Amino acid sequence: MAIWQREATLEQLNQRSADCMVGHLGIRFIALNDDSLEAVMPVDQRTTQPFGLLHGGAPAVLAETLGSMAGYLCTCGEQQVVGLEINANHLRSAREGEVRGVCRALHLGRSHQVWQIEIFDRQQRLCCISRLTTSVIMAKPEQR
């Protein structure tokens, strides 16, 4: 049974994310499963540090993007999701290709959510594991 409360297509998720940091970094949603959301991010000049490795902040952006969008999809009506805390453990570096993030819920409560995001390199090796805590809030009238 799917955890999502809102209906959305991958095309809609990608279109909504095109004109912000998500689009600037080339992050693309690639799978919306019953209990997980997946996206890829290129390892290129936008996401690497000066020594050619994937910048440590880039997987955090990918994780925050996945967890926030998944969190939003688990709300309804005028509810919105904002990030409260994120951590990321970098386990392996990536130098080329793209990385793939897989986001799954650890806790879906009325007022907060906890998401686990695993990020893999192109050889499907775990590069980073992240946890994002979000708060579910009501949208202010000017945000609707």
Is there a catalytic annotation at residue 64?
Answer: yes
> Shortest CA distance to 30 belongs to which of 11, 45, 2, 56?
11
Q: Are 126 and 94 in contact (CB under 8 A)?
A: no
**Identity at 60, one-letter amino acid code:** A
Tell which residue, 37, 138, 143, has the closest CA to residue 80. Answer: 138
Q: Name the active-site residue from 7, 11, 38, 64.
A: 64
53 close to 99: Cβ distance less than 8 angstroms = no
> Six-digit token pair at 61?
């952006």
Q: Are strands 126-138 and 112-120 parallel, antiparallel or unpaired?
A: antiparallel
Q: Do 67 and 101 touch, CB atoms closer than 8 A? A: no
| Catalytic residue annotation | 64
